[in-house]
Amino acid sequence: MTESQRVALVTGGANGIGAAIGALLASRGLRVVLADRDERVRETADRIGGDAILMDVADPMSIAAAEIAELDVLVNSAAIAPTSGLGDAGLLDDFSRALDVNVRGILAVVSALLPQLRRSASPRILNIGSVQGSAAAAGGIAYATSKGAVNSLTRALAVDLADAGILVNALAPGFTDTAMALLPDGTSEYDTEWFRSVYVRHGRVPLRRPAAAEEIAEAAEFLVSERNTYVTGAILPVDGGLLATF
Ligand SMILES: NC(=O)c1ccc[n+]([C@@H]2O[C@H](COP(=O)([O-])OP(=O)(O)OC[C@H]3O[C@@H](n4cnc5c(N)ncnc54)[C@H](O)[C@@H]3O)[C@@H](O)[C@H]2O)c1
């Protein structure tokens, strides 16, 4: 099978990192299917020359309804980032919801599409984790816990699926310029004085800037490509050096 004939499904593909990965894979000749609960997935798919599926990864019925005959690459980018903290009334509900979407959602989609991946000549799974899988940020209890579990799930899947030839990895992006970085008032967290002071001027992000979603996609593309033949169970930070310093 040649690279140009491979089929990729990207959850969370309507926006941000998922959309950027979908666009890059499409530009490399893969047939790309974007799956998202956000109806804008159709526009994004039109823009990149792919197909769209409305899917809620927390809803097994909507996963089962997806008609995917062949699949070589599964990218799990769908996630939510609740910010409720200790003492907030919604914390436990947010915690459950983050685990449902960010962790159980990955396992549900992988389980549903395993038969198709097993038939592929070069099957790859890529989960989008976060630096918060390894280091906590204030107000991130639900999100950080879910992303730690994504790292563990990635390693467990890599071990269990190795005999089937399915390579499973995760990216751990740092600050990335997407809707997830928007504050409740609609401005970007990266435009705040706090971000510029701590992360840029003081070099808490050694590269002194957030990533563009397209930069995360470049790392994703290698891991899901046929050029990757021996990386599995890896969690790759794509974070401008954030986790390398303190
Ligand atoms: N933006 C960052 O700074 C950053 C940093 C580290 C990790 N990440 C991770 O990158 C991935 C993509 O996030 P992003 O920054 O592109 O954010 P985003 O909000 O732009 O995209 C997330 C997408 O997931 C979709 N989604 C959410 N819940 C869903 C569900 N139940 N079913 C289907 N789709 C669902 C949303 O509709 C959206 O299109 C996420 O896993 C996120 O945790 C982002």
Q: pLDDT of the chain along its 246 residues, tens only?
A: 444 589 999 999 999 999 999 999 999 999 999 999 999 999 999 999 999 999 999 999 999 999 999 999 999 999 999 999 999 999 999 999 999 999 999 999 999 999 999 999 999 999 999 999 999 998 899 999 999 999 999 999 999 999 999 999 999 999 999 999 999 899 999 999 999 999 999 999 999 999 999 999 999 999 999 999 999 999 999 999 999 998
| 176 Cβ closer than 6 Å to some ligand 1 atom | yes
- Amino acid code (one letter) for 100: D
User: What's the 165 CA to ligand 1 centre distance in angstroms?
Assistant: 28
Structure confidence at residue 4 (pLDDT): 52
Residue identifier of the C-alpha nearest atom 1 of ligand 1: 176
> CATH: 3.40.50.620, 3.40.50.720, 1.20.140.10, 3.60.70.12. Which one for 3-244?
3.40.50.720
Q: What angle do CA 121, 124, 126 make, to 5 degrees?
A: 170
Residue 76 exposed, middle or buried by CB count within 10 Å (0-12, 13-18, 19+): buried
Atom 23 of ligand 1 has which residue's CA nearest to it? 12
pLDDT digits (tens, 9 = 90+) for 144-181: 999 999 999 999 999 999 999 999 999 999 999 999 99
154 lines ligand 1 (CB under 6 A): no
Q: How far is the CA of 216 from the centre of ligand 1 (A)?
A: 13
Task: Report d(CA 35, CA 57) in Å as an integer.
Answer: 9
The verdict on whether 143 is a catalytic residue reads yes
User: What's the confidence (pLDDT) of residue 242?
Assistant: 97
Q: How far apart are CA 25 and CA 239, in angstroms?
A: 21
Q: Measured in angstroms, how far is the CA atom of residue 163 from the centroid of ligand 1?
A: 30
User: Ligand 1 atom 36: the closest Cα is on which residue?
Assistant: 12
**Ligand 1 pocket check for 130: Cβ under 6 Å:** yes
Give the per-residue pLDDT at 184: 87
User: How far apart are the CA of 101 and the centre of ligand 1, in A?
Assistant: 10
Could you give the CA distance from residue 22 to residue 7 in angstroms, rounded to a whole number?
Answer: 11
Q: Could you tell me the two tokens for 127?
A: 């989960």
- Answer whether 80 contacts ligand 1 (Cβ < 6 A): yes
Mutate which of 94, 134, 180 for ligand 1 pocket (most atoms within 8 A of beta carbon)? 180
Edge-to-edge strand ranges of the sheet holding 31-36: 51-54, 31-36, 7-11, 73-76, 124-128, 167-173, 235-238
- Specify the pLDDT at position 1: 43
- For position 246, what pLDDT does the model report? 87
